[in-house]
Amino acid sequence: MRGFDPYLTFQKLEVFCTVAELGSVTRAADQLCVTQPVVTAHLRSMEAKIGCALVERVGRNIALTDAGHRIHRWAVEVITRTREMERELAGVESGSRGNAVVATSMSVGSYSLPPLISEFSRQHAEGVVTVQVSNPTAALDATRTGGCDFAVTLLEPNQDLDRLTTHYLWNEPLVLVCAPETRWLDEVNLLASLKKAAFISAPQNTVRRKVEDDLLRKKGLENRNIILEFGHPEAIKHAVRNDLGVCFMLHSSVQSEIEQGTLKLLDLPDFRFNMQVHLVHREDKLFSTYQAALIHHIVLSTQTPESEVWTCKCLRPAKSPLVQI
């Protein structure tokens, strides 16, 4: 029976997993910022050390062999556990009594989540919380690979949740805002003027945009006149304040401007939408007591009647139940 070569490196596992997930040596090389021959060399070396073929060409793409699928599952587990251990050891070296890494999407991470994290940090000054603000796709990728402990994010309707567990947290109202004295909307006939108005929105293919488009399509606004797309809510608000167009935005991101009168909220009964925010973690994730306490704080601060009940799987038994959603 052939055994694994003891010099099978962590780097080779990362390269192999990137190729497996992207289905292409070229795309893997681009993502890893190396040349294609380097990626190919790592694959060939790994196959030699394991003793069997891991990938095969299918058209222009790369597919995993039966052995490749097995090795991929094992390699993902090794990489995930290693990254988690690196973070835990970093916390020990810095003298921290706990650490947690939370991945989140742009709007949630910029407006809703910071007050919750800040209050928790004030109550638990002995630990360190790191918040990674990117987009829902990147947040879920980090959750799968061990780049974070859990994510708090929006999810698109047909989101791939393989190996992940989700828990509903709260609803984010999606509201229509415009400049205080807008030229785009007729107060007497708002619904008709919406079909002619200029819109500002998030870029295509982002989760926020997909969910927004899906909601508006059901109301007959599938062909909006979108003139600007911005990846950050602050840029969108700047354009709306200058009356370049109107926009549907998460209420938490414009609440301050609405209260100050720099943006106007248009409350239309037919256009009252909610976008759900979820907590997402790996199915097999074991939380430290500090991480479970952070989840407990987030859940209690956002408790709603629709919430379900669940319990964190902790590395060490807690003195009392930490989490109930």
Residue 299 has phi, psi (to 5 degrees) of -65, -50
Q: What is the pLDDT along the chain (325 residues), one digit of tens a residue?
A: 455 666 678 888 889 999 998 899 999 999 899 999 999 999 999 888 888 899 998 888 889 999 999 998 888 888 877 877 776 666 555 555 788 999 999 999 999 999 999 999 999 988 889 999 999 989 998 898 888 999 999 988 778 898 899 999 999 999 999 999 999 988 778 778 888 999 999 998 888 888 888 888 888 888 889 999 999 999 999 999 999 999 999 999 999 999 999 999 988 888 888 999 999 999 988 888 889 999 999 999 987 655 555 566 665 544 434 444 3
- Please, are residues 325 and 310 in contact by the beta-carbon 8 Å criterion? yes
Which segments of the chain belong to CATH 3.40.190.10?
86-171+276-301, 172-275
CA 27-33-38 angle, to 5 degrees, is: 80
Q: Which of 122, 117, 144, 157 is nearest to 133 (CA)?
A: 117
CATH 3.30.70.100 fits 86-171+276-301, yes or no: no
Write the class of the CATH domain 172-275: alpha beta
Q: What is the pTM of this model?
A: 0.74
Alpha-carbon distance of 152 to 148, in angstroms, equals 11
Tell me, rounded to whole angstroms, the distance of Cα 14 from its chain centroid.
21
Q: Does domain 10-81 have CATH number 3.40.50.1220?
A: no
Residue type, 200: I
